[in-house]
Structure 1
Amino acid sequence: MDVQSVKIDLIHWLTELQDKSLLKQLQCLKEEQESSFELSEEQNKELDSRLEKYENGEMKFSQWDDVKERIRSRAENAI
């Protein structure tokens, strides 16, 4: 079945649909799709830059426990 036929079939099905909960779920799905976002050109450049640094081994990573300790230490020193 081609895409156009599926759309037509769904339109017919929706016009006859009486289940309010299903209609609400479909509305939420539509809103979710509409609220999905695209990255800006600047965000894509930043992402590409970070990916390149990662691939070249230029990024530093830390264990989660070390990160928590650094944050706690900075908070204590700020007081």
Structure 2
Amino acid sequence: MDIQTIKVDLIHWLTELQDLKILEQLQALKHLQEAGLSDAHKALLDERIASYEKDPGKALDWDEVMKELEKDL
């Protein structure tokens, strides 16, 4: 199913929806999506990017992380 088909399907479903609780949950999800990242999340990302840029060799790739986790299990 392509994205346009999904959108049309959801629009039709929404126009018929009478459940206030679900509509409020969808509205809350919309607000979260519109809000983007919080200042705290942005600051954390900036901190981690700066740390990586300072010493890129210190970073682990995904495979290395998974190997370390598997050792602990």
Range of TM-score over shorter length: 0.5 to 0.7
Which residue does 1:65 correspond to in 2?
Answer: none
Output the TM-score relative to the length of structure 2.
Answer: 0.58
Structure ranking higher on relative contact order (CA contacts 8 Å, 6+ apart) = 2
Aligned residues: CA RMSD: 2.7
Q: Secondary structure at the match of 1:18?
A: coil
How many equivalent pairs are there?
54
* Structure whose alpha-carbon radius of gyration is higher: 1
Q: Secondary structure at the match of 1:37?
A: coil
> Is the aligned partner of 1:51 residue 2:52?
yes
How many Å separate the matches in 2 of 1:49 and 1:15? 47
Which residue does 2:14 correspond to in 1?
Answer: 14
Structure 2 residues without counterparts, runs of 5 or longer: 59-73
User: Displacement, 1:53?
Assistant: 1.8
Output the TM-score relative to the length of structure 1.
Answer: 0.54
> Is the aligned partner of 1:27 residue 2:5?
no
User: Displacement, 1:22?
Assistant: 0.2
User: Displacement, 1:54?
Assistant: 3.8
Percent identity for Structure 1 against Structure 2? 48
